[in-house]
Structure 1
Amino acid sequence: MKATAGARGLWRRVTEPGQWPRRRLVGESGLALVLALLAAGLEDFSGAGWPRTAAVAIAVAALSLLRRALPTPVLLATGALSGASAGGVLLLLPVAWSAGRRIDGVVRALAAFTASGVLCVGLSLIESPPTPSTLVLTTLFFLVSVVVPGLASRYWSQRRTLLRALQERNTQLLRERQMIAGQARMRERQRIAQDMHDSLGHQLALIAVHTGALEVDRELTGRQREAVGVLREASVAAMHELREVVGILKDGGAQEDPTAQAASRVVAGIEALVDSAAAAGTPVRLERSGQPRPLAPAADHAAYRIAQEGLTNAYKHAPGAPITVSLRYEPDSLVVEVANGPVPGEGGPWPGAVSGGQGLVGLRERARLVGGMVHAGPVDDGGFRLAGVLPYGTGEARETTFGDATDDFRQQIGAEAPGDGGPVIDWSDPHEEFKNIMGATKRNNGCLVGCGVGVLILVGLVVALVFGAGKLLDEIDEAMIDPSVYASVNVGDPEEQVREKLPSGKSFLTVDAKRQAPAEPPGAGCLTLLSTDSSKGLSTDTVYRFCFKGGKLIEKREFDVKN
């Protein structure tokens, strides 16, 4: 039952739909076909029969297709196949790259690669007697062609995992910080709203009560009673606006839509402002030009505030001066202008006039948020002019906040980071951040351990590769000669003179040649060397043998051996 269940689970892993999307299926099939053809060519070149060649080609294609779904079994099978046949060597690199990424756990990956190396080296030494040099070179070849790609693939995969964990951690921090900043803003809004309600609300209520009582005083003239009525209406309107502002602060959101804004605080309400000023005895007139067009709610309200601020400034700083309020509908924008003439006579600002210097700053900010601008300054005749240009478009300018800093990490992880454009508080200590990230999951610690071990192994492989290359060159120098050297030696030459021209021959490269060489002359000592000429192919080596007896060269012989 367990075997049946295991086989079913294995089949599901291989045939899982997510394993074989259309693009991967085409790519994997093409790679498997190319590797199978190359493996068949190598087997045929080495002299293997067609049954063995076909079997190796089919095995290479099957292992190539299964390397993603079954990384550990395919790695072991590839090690055995590459040790037993030349065609399997081509599969080592892609299988090692795939296994390095997909085998979970450092210990499991180390065991799988070690077992594959033992199979590869062991099977490759069965047909020939093992020597220390052969064992070193075979092991070095496996390390370079399997372990190095596997480590590189594992490092690349773990680096991606670590970066993904860092991004997730950063996203979580941004979300938490945005929540904290939002809560802090809400508490500050509530505090400001409470202060405004307790202080300004009380003062405005007193003004409304006293002006209401004064309005019914029988000693006032009609003109005075009318002025007091304007003051009472202004105080009541101010109380209503204060309540709305307090409500906005407590709710934490601006109400910039037509249903939330009072109908009188838009462009249509500017005429009422002018009428109220005229009723209070201020010389003011309203001018209109162009074809009226609708504005966005925020721009509509900003136009009203510009006119209101302009009239208020004229009341305070130029009492008695004539005021002109202009509404000019241009092709692309509405121009709201409030201009007053010079102060008549020796007049000046009202003694009780208070200016905090924030009115124009607030107007400029309102205009900027809707894509417009505000200009204020004196004119040539001694008066003052306040003008605002507000576009008709419905789009509002994007608010610049601290969260838009160019060094914000959210720009590296894409637009899915929460709170884009929102406020972000200062970063904490980077070392503590890194410790928190590393301690968040056990998998991240495994990434660090795997990367460290991979670096150490890679350094060791580089050292072993350099040493092995030098050793191989030494073995070649001791085992091979050029055909011209062989031709320059003649039978009968003194042994000492001949040996000066030849290498020592003490190399593992000449082991197979000595085993397949003809019988040596009785009583003679022979030196077997390989030729540097490879014109007869990789499967055949040309061998030179020099036999000495009595201090002289008694025989030199050339023959071929099969690899």
Structure 2
Amino acid sequence: MDAAETPRTGPSFRFRLAAASPWPRRRIVGEAVLTPVLSGIAGILRTAETGSLVQGGALALVVAVLSLARRALPASVLLAASALAGTFPGTFVLLVCAGWSAGSRIERPARALAAFTAGFVLHLVAGVASAPDEDLGLSALVTVVLTGGPFLVLAVVPGFAARYRAQRHALLDALRRHNAQLVRERTMVARQARLLERQRIAQDMHDSLGHQLALIAVHTGALEVDPELNGRQREGVGVLREASRSAMLELREAVGILRNDAEMSGPGPQGAGPSSDRAAVSVDELVASSRAAGATVELHRSGAERPLTPAVDRAAYRIAQEGLTNAHKHAPGAPITVALRYEPDSLVVEVANGPVPAGVPAAPPAISGQQGLTGLRERARLVGGMVHTGPTPGGGFRL
């Protein structure tokens, strides 16, 4: 039974022939050229040998059928071609092609060995049966060599070459699949390591910063109701308490983002994450908090406001927040202007402060981690934006 592209349950002859189809265009062109060549050689040589056009045509037809079936039925075609080559020398090219197909398409080595051994026996028997009477007197060894030698050259050698080629291609395919699997596994391991590290960072932030912010909120809440404070002091303590509360909410949001491994890149459902209108609404809260702390802050809006993705809104909010924080730290008492400009293809957030007014006492050196602007540049880059900073002609600073 053939073992080329067929299941082991013994399919019918029709299904075996269908196992090699559909043929790609390249194979169709190759068969359209090879089949006439094989049948033509066999038919012409047979006609020249016998002088009978009928015999030549019949042999050419048989060779054409075997040539077309050699891919679906490699073992059967090998046996038939071996018998024909032993009887009709003009079919030697068909034997070469049948040996090549059998070597590459019969998967099990035992079946391949059995097929080539049976083909050798058939070739030997057919050759001895068709040999002239004067050649039958030769010794058995000489007969085997003269009859079986061409089979080894025409069928076995191409079979070994085709089998080596098929096994080499199968090995290369297996190596490629294995390499792709290793790459996928390495990516999964790296992603898992990142997730674990992000979870560890989130837990550390929650345990350390969350505790400190909670203490600040509790103490400022207790201080706010102290009867010894005047209205101005109580208002300042209220600003501190509200700032600590906002910091707690933002810390919780950051921890959630770290644990979820990614920020949402598009609008989400109601109640999922921070407000999607943060750049339009929460900047007002930032300005109000700064005004409550005694700063002179103006807010300007221009352009047609439109909904933005949460990532862009969050970036705009952070830029405004960082700009106000830097102005309070480095230029206390200076007037501040916050501008939101909705342009056709972008949103521009600008925070500018003027020079420190004369007579305002110098503030102590501000505590800075030197990472605020760097973080803003990275945040803006992730949403397709950029950050520009620098002094203004009047002695202030603009972000």
Same fold? TM cut 0.5 = yes
CA deviation map 1:64-98 (0-9, x unaligned)? 12212221221122122122213312313332332
Alpha-carbon distance in structure 2 between the residues aligned to 1:100 and 1:349:
92
Alpha-carbon distance in structure 1 between the residues aligned to 2:196 and 2:262:
13
Shift of 1:29: 6.8
1:59 aligns with 2:48: no
Range with greater deviation from structure 2 (115-124 or 375-384): 115-124
1:19 aligns with 2:20: yes
Structure 2 counterpart of 1:252, one-letter code: D
User: Once the two structures are aligned, what percentage of the paired residues are identical?
Assistant: 58
Structure 1 segment 222-371 matched on structure 2, within 5 A: 222-255=231-264, 257-258=267-268, 259=270, 260-263=272-275, 265-345=278-358, 350-351=363-364, 353-371=366-384
- What is the SS of the residue equivalent to 2:377? helix
CA deviation map 1:321-380 (0-9, x unaligned)? 222212122222111111222334487985373322222222222222222222223334
Alpha-carbon distance in structure 2 between the residues aligned to 1:351 and 1:32:
95
Alpha-carbon distance in structure 2 between the residues aligned to 1:368 and 1:7:
61
Structure 1 counterpart of 2:73, one-letter code: L
Distance of aligned partners of 1:159 and 1:371 in 2 relative to their CA distance in 1, 3 Å threshold? farther
Alpha-carbon distance in structure 1 between the residues aligned to 2:362 and 2:118:
96
- What is the SS of the residue equivalent to 2:193? helix
Structure 2 counterpart of 1:62, one-letter code: V
Alpha-carbon distance in structure 2 between the residues aligned to 1:226 and 1:342:
26
Alpha-carbon distance in structure 1 between the residues aligned to 2:76 and 2:334:
95
Q: CA RMSD in A?
A: 3.3
CA deviation map 1:441-493 (0-9, x unaligned)? xxxxxxxxxxxxxxxxxxxxxxxxxxxxxxxxxxxxxxxxxxxxxxxxxxxxx
Partner of 2:182: 173
Distance of aligned partners of 1:295 and 1:41 in 2 relative to their CA distance in 1, 3 Å threshold? same
Structure 1 counterpart of 2:21, one-letter code: W
1:46 aligns with 2:59: no
Partner of 1:474: none
- What is the SS of the residue equivalent to 2:251? helix
Structure 1 segment 81-100 matched on structure 2, within 5 A: 81-100=84-103
Range with greater deviation from structure 2 (146-155 or 22-31): 22-31
Partner of 1:473: none
Greater share of helix residues, 1 or 2? 2
- What is the SS of the residue equivalent to 1:234? helix
Distance of aligned partners of 1:34 and 1:14 in 2 relative to their CA distance in 1, 3 Å threshold? farther
Alpha-carbon distance in structure 2 between the residues aligned to 1:276 and 1:74:
90
Alpha-carbon distance in structure 2 between the residues aligned to 1:218 and 1:38:
116
Partner of 2:163: 154
Distance of aligned partners of 1:187 and 1:349 in 2 relative to their CA distance in 1, 3 Å threshold? farther
CA deviation map 1:112-142 (0-9, x unaligned)? 3355356546655734747999987987765
- What is the SS of the residue equivalent to 2:278? coil
Structure 2 counterpart of 1:20, one-letter code: S
Task: Report if aligned partners of 2:63, 2:91 keep a CA contact under 8 Å in 1.
Answer: yes
1:164 aligns with 2:180: no
- What is the SS of the residue equivalent to 1:326? strand
1:37 aligns with 2:46: no
Structure 2 counterpart of 1:331, one-letter code: P
Partner of 1:470: none
Distance of aligned partners of 1:348 and 1:140 in 2 relative to their CA distance in 1, 3 Å threshold? farther
Instruction: Report how many residues are paired.
Output: 380
Alpha-carbon distance in structure 2 between the residues aligned to 1:164 and 1:92:
29
Greater share of strand residues, 1 or 2? 1
Partner of 1:372: 385
Alpha-carbon distance in structure 2 between the residues aligned to 1:179 and 1:7:
40
Distance of aligned partners of 1:59 and 1:70 in 2 relative to their CA distance in 1, 3 Å threshold? same
1:199 aligns with 2:200: no
Structure 1 segment 432-451 matched on structure 2, within 5 A: none
Task: Report if aligned partners of 1:227, 1:280 keep a CA contact under 8 Å in 2.
Answer: yes
Unaligned 5+ segments in structure 2 are 1-7
Alpha-carbon distance in structure 2 between the residues aligned to 1:202 and 1:301:
25
Structure 1 segment 461-540 matched on structure 2, within 5 A: none
Alpha-carbon distance in structure 2 between the residues aligned to 1:347 and 1:105:
94
Task: Report if aligned partners of 2:263, 2:311 keep a CA contact under 8 Å in 1.
Answer: no
- What is the SS of the residue equivalent to 2:389? strand
Shift of 1:46: 2.7
Range with greater deviation from structure 2 (139-148 or 240-249): 139-148
Shift of 1:308: 0.9
- What is the SS of the residue equivalent to 1:190? helix
Shift of 1:292: 2.2
Distance of aligned partners of 1:268 and 1:50 in 2 relative to their CA distance in 1, 3 Å threshold? same
Alpha-carbon distance in structure 2 between the residues aligned to 1:281 and 1:217:
21
- What is the SS of the residue equivalent to 2:301? strand
Partner of 2:77: 74
Greater C-alpha Rg: 1
Alpha-carbon distance in structure 2 between the residues aligned to 1:306 and 1:342:
20
Distance of aligned partners of 1:349 and 1:116 in 2 relative to their CA distance in 1, 3 Å threshold? farther
Structure 1 counterpart of 2:13, one-letter code: W
Partner of 1:384: 397
- What is the SS of the residue equivalent to 2:340? strand
Alpha-carbon distance in structure 2 between the residues aligned to 1:377 and 1:121:
95
- What is the SS of the residue equivalent to 2:344? coil
- What is the SS of the residue equivalent to 1:335? strand
Distance of aligned partners of 1:301 and 1:348 in 2 relative to their CA distance in 1, 3 Å threshold? farther
